Amino acid sequence: MKPRLIILSALLTACSPSETPAPSDISGPPTVAEARAFMEAVEAERTELREVAARTGWLAQTHITVDTKLLAGEADKVYALATVDAASRSTRFSELDLDPDLQRKFDALRLASTQPPPNDEALAGEASQLDQELRSIYGTGTYCQGDECRTLGALSDVMAYSRDPQELRDAWAGWRTVSPPMRPLYTRQVELLNQGAQDLGFDDLSDLWRSNYDMSPAEFSADMERQWELVKPLYTALQCHVRASLTEQYGVDVVGEDGTIPAHLLGNMWAQTWSNVYDLVAPEEVAASYDMNELIQANFPDAESMFKTGEAFFVSLGLDELPDTFWERSQFTRPRDRQVVCHASAWDINTNRDVRIKMCTKRNAEDFTTIHHELGHNYYQMAYAHQPQLFRGSANDGFHEALGDTISLSITPAYLVQLGLLEQEPPAEEDLAYLLKLGLDKIAFLPFALVVDKWRWQVFSGELTEADYNAGWWKLRQQYQGVSAPVARSEADFDPGAKYHVPAGTPYARYFLAHIQQFQFHKALCDAIGHDGPLTRCTIFNQPEAGERLQQMMAMGSSQPWQDAMEVMTGQRELDASAVVDYFAPLKTWLDEQNQGRQCGW
């Protein structure tokens, strides 16, 4: 039967089985014509189901009720099952000699689901239920002391602003009381998702995840390590300076003497970004000549005016204005009459340029930057909307995040001057403070991003068993980050589950890639417009030449290997973390000066 989308009120509740041609119903050897017809039907079905999933997902996040969550969960389940079913049946054509474009679609179909359920209805239902349970445990988690219960948001505020080490330790450990119940559920989920990956012809889920980069899984892992080695000296210098500064603040009894930094002292619940401790590590000799928050407050009366300025950035590059529906359908501020998910996100509802942003915007510097970032996603989505369904995505999953952050890197003093927010650019010595604060986020994040998926790859492959989940987690965190647990941990704990992306099953390597690609993109675009000077002062605002290169890359979607898209954007065919090193070179020089006489490393 043709998939029937039954609309209840505004949206769907269920779908009947697919009518995509089932190879098992066809006698005789497969043909190229049959493969092409099969793929056309698959893409038509996926287009329909994906739009329903997007619409129900949007509703569930902008109007949270039991019913909207149920609708979204059902739509996601139907879409996931249809994807896995089509991928499984596509194996009939695996031995055919297909043209490169069609073969890439078949490859993309097999890799489309990052959480493939087993090709069994009962087990798929169990996998879906486990996914919901794990997300629910995380999403509803609180830490209670007596009658007082605190959410992750409240605990994160403590991590960000408190300078009391005991209070920080309590908040850190308190959030990690939420995750131990996830442990048996996660173990079972790994079994089911590994089976789903094996049903698609992969060794396990890590094999599937690492196969999505136009290179072998082993080559991808090796390239990740190679990029890390390029930036490791910069990270080591940053870690050394931060550790010394925290020791001055808290004393050696709190920080310890093994070279690592206790995770609760770094201003973030997961010690993944460190900018919240900037005041403890900043250079005393550099003071900012302007306050970005004050500029935003003085010049933007509301959220929509901030979004209009973000749109003008892209228009200045020669790109189209946003469609009217963007302004009609986006959520810019927190509604007063309903519960919503405030985490900023960019949405691509259908191929008819129905793009939206969901934010609870505040008039501050952080959200001004976020708006430029999220609009980068929307412009990418519109650029590849003409592509076949399976190619409507970024060149690899790092490109989307990198694109948004590349735009954010252009929010420089020169950009603020062109907007009329500043009369003149501040002196160059202020760049050191900017680089340090940015490095506390961007550089500090890189090893954490590596650890999250290295841990899961080990779990999925069986290298790390349930008996050593927590020990394996902290071994990697100490090895790569030089970060340690502030209180004793054991296998009664499940600290990986305290990070959203683990119970949510979201791959994390994309963020590692993005944190390298964004600097590679920024440097290439600055070179293309002939920028002369520090990369921190380069903005591509009002530079159509940069916009033309950007548009050409975005329009490719995932239709070609990411190396081709990288070449269009940068002239290089490989990931290259040396752009990160170049961008932060002045910071590295300063850190080395500060670290003279210190014992660095762990």
Residues belonging to the active site:
343-344, 373-374, 377, 401, 501, 511
Question: What is the enclosing helix (H) or strand (E) of 477?
Answer: helix 469-481
E strand residue ranges, 95-232:
142-145, 148-151
41-45: long-range contacts, CB 8 A cutoff, minimum separation 24: 42/86, 42/90, 42/109, 43/105, 43/388, 43/389, 43/390, 44/389, 45/3, 45/18, 45/19, 45/20, 45/82, 45/86
The answer to whether 100 and 140 are in contact (CB under 8 A) is no
Cα distances from 344 to residues 164, 210, 357, 368, in angstroms, run 30, 27, 7, 12
Cα distances from 551 to residues 179, 380, 524, 547, in angstroms, run 43, 8, 14, 6
Find the helix packing angle between 365-383 and 303-316, rounded to 10°: 50
Q: Which residues, 6+ apart, have CB-to-CB distance to 563 below 8 Å?
A: 214, 573, 574
Q: What is the DSSP string of 570-600?
A: HS-SS--THHHHHHTHHHHHHHHHHTTT---
Q: Which of 175, 423, 138, 121 is nearest to 290 (CA)?
A: 423
Q: Residue 287 CA to chain centroid, in angstroms?
A: 32
The sign of the dihedral angle between the CA atoms of 559, 561, 566, 571 is: negative
Give the CA dihedral 45, 51, 53, 58, nearest 10 degrees. 180
Distance CA 516, CA 519 (A): 6
**SS3 call for 397:** helix
Whose tokens are 């749109």? That residue is 311
Q: Which residues, 6+ apart, have CB-to-CB distance to 244 below 8 Å?
A: 594, 595, 598
Residue 354 structure tokens:
């129905």
Question: What burial letters (b/e) apply to 142-154, b meaning 16+ CB within 10 Å?
Answer: ebeeeeeebebee
Give the CA dihedral 77, 79, 82, 85, nearest 10 degrees. -60
Q: Residue 294 CA to chain centroid, in angstroms?
A: 29
Distance CA 429, CA 359 (A): 34
